[in-house]
Structure 1
Amino acid sequence: MTSDRAFTCACCGGRHSEPPMNYTAEAPAVWDAAFAGAEDCLLSADQCVVLGQHYFVKGLIEIPVLGSEEMFSWGVWVSLSRENFSRAADLWDTPGRESEQPYFGWLTTDLPVYPSPTRNLKTHVHTRPVGERPLVELEPTDHPLAVEQRRGISLERVREIAAALLHPDGLGRQSG
């Protein structure tokens, strides 16, 4: 039995059972492996500090998949001011933290499936209940990623993203 989400990959021609519905960046684009172990640097699954001067949290850009109840998501890093990072860190394990006002931040993840850079897009980081990653809301601009977040994407677009990310050498052949 095959899934109705199965697709033939535009890059390799192979048949995939279904496209992944989320992708994640392991670190902000500015992270360098040389920072690991440095006293003024930290990289965890949720937070990052670079040289004691730059502060990041990991969140999700969620995009509705049209015609379904599903969400496609990007696990991304957002830079926050020192004050907002400290506040978010102080409340990290506090029940009710979701009542916090959103934090302004800058997207610090490169998503190569878009025709224009995604790094430095303006965001608002919405804290959610303990145990859930923050929701990253992009400023409503005409950037394709922001448009997709507002309007949603088709399952065919999810398949295009999967083909591009499963076969990065084929990125140049993908449409934006």
Structure 2
Amino acid sequence: MSYSTMAPDVWDPGFETDPDSMLSSDQCVIKGQHFFIRGLIEIPVIGSEDVFSWGVWVSLSRDNFTRSLEVWNTAGREAEKPYFGWLSTELALYPESTTNLKTNAHTRPIGNRPFIELEPTDHPLAVEQRTGITLDRVREIATAVMHPAKARPGEAR
């Protein structure tokens, strides 16, 4: 019921040796100038209590990234106001690019990744987050992610 990416789309393995770059399971800095956190786009599964999740990366301003680090291990951090960011993960199975969709990252209690709320647009991913998806759609996503060669002709891979 969830799929995740290991790094923002702009991460390059060559950054691993750059002293101003770092990639952990939850945060990323590129050349001391670009800042990212990992969070979850959660989509309700219609007719169930289940939630489907995309593990994605969101770029934040330096100030918001710094603030998120300051409260990372602070009880009550979920009271923080959301951090504006840009989606930095391309989910290729959507017919329109997901990169640079506007988001708000909502901090949650310690041990829980931020909830990534998409701007309520007509982008298919934003519509799914608002309206939910069927279990058949979950299966379709699973097939596309796990077996991209089985995607239908014309379907984004």
Q: TM-score normalised to the size of structure 1?
A: 0.86
Q: Does 1:147 align with 2:127?
A: yes
Matches within 5 A, 1:1-176: 21-171=1-151, 173=153
**Deviation readout 1:40-72 (Å, 9 max, x if unpaired):** 000000000001000000000000000000000
- CA shift for structure 1 position 38: 1.3
**RMSD (CA atoms):** 1.2
Could you say if the C-alpha distance between residues 48 and 162 of structure 1 is closer, same or farther in structure 2, counting changes exceeding 3 Å? same
**Deviation readout 1:63-111 (Å, 9 max, x if unpaired):** 0000000000000000000000000011000000000000000000010
- SS across alignment from 2:142: helix
> After the TM superposition, which parts of structure 1 deviate over 2 Å for at least 4 consecutive aligned residues?
169-176
- CA shift for structure 1 position 167: 1.1
Cα distance in 1, alignment partners of residues 139 and 154 from structure 2: 11
- CA shift for structure 1 position 171: 3.6
Structure 1 letter corresponding to 2:101: L
Structure 2 letter corresponding to 1:169: A
- CA shift for structure 1 position 173: 3.0
Aligned length: 156
Cα distance in 2, alignment partners of residues 59 and 88 from structure 1: 12
Unpaired runs of 5+ residues, structure 1, are 1-20
Cα distance in 2, alignment partners of residues 167 and 156 from structure 1: 16
Cα distance in 1, alignment partners of residues 89 and 152 from structure 2: 19
Structure 1 letter corresponding to 2:139: R
Cα distance in 2, alignment partners of residues 83 and 172 from structure 1: 43
Q: Which of the pair has more CA radius of gyration?
A: 1
Q: TM-score normalised to the size of structure 2?
A: 0.96
Unpaired runs of 5+ residues, structure 2, are none
